[in-house]
Each structure stands twice: as C-alpha cells, then as structure tokens.
Amino acid sequence: MAVGLAEAGNAIIYRSVPWAHSIFSLKSRSFPKGAIPAHLMKYLFTTEPRSCAAETARLSGTARVHGMNACISKMRKGR
C-alpha cells in the first residue's frame, strides 16, 4: 500500500529487512500517536503495574517477570 503525499506527515519510516530492495520502508500509521485502539482497551491498566513494580523492585530477570505476572493476576482477580 502506498502512502500519499497528504498522509506523509503521519507516515512511519523504518529500516527495511536486509533482503529488501530498498534501504528503508514507509508505512502509514494505523492509529494516532497516543491513542489507544478500542480492541486494546481491555488490556489497559491503571495502577496495577506501578504498585507491582514497587513490590518486585528487589527482583531481577525472570524472577521479576514472574513476580510481576503473579502480582497483576492477583490484583485483577480481586476486582
């Protein structure tokens, strides 16, 4: 899909894959910067990640990932 001149201000330029014929690729932005698409609203958290990040600050690596997941799951079940 080509990006027209009228939409050039909303285009995203990124480096192409190594096997592409051009140095860069250009695509149109799927939704405005900062906007949250309707189908992703159910994944939007408000305070859970902040409080869980504070709880798991002493952990690192995989232990922190598992701790964050457990903390958020626990908070979401309590709703």
Q: Is residue 24 part of a domain?
A: yes
Q: Is residue 11 part of a domain?
A: yes
Q: What is the pTM of this model?
A: 0.42
Counted domains in the chain: 2
Residues 38, 30: contact at Cβ < 8 Å? no
- Computed on alpha carbons and rounded to an integer, the radius of gyration of the chain in Å comes to 20
3-state secondary structure of 14: strand
Task: Show the domain range for 25.
Answer: 5-33
Q: Is residue 58 part of a domain?
A: yes
- Based on the domain organization, do 49 and 73 belong to the same domain? yes
Whether residue 30 is predicted with pLDDT greater than 80 in this model: the reply is no
Dump pLDDT digits (tens) for 31-44.
777 788 888 877 77
Beta bridge partners of 14: 25
**Residue 62 confidence class, pLDDT cut points 50, 70, 90:** very high
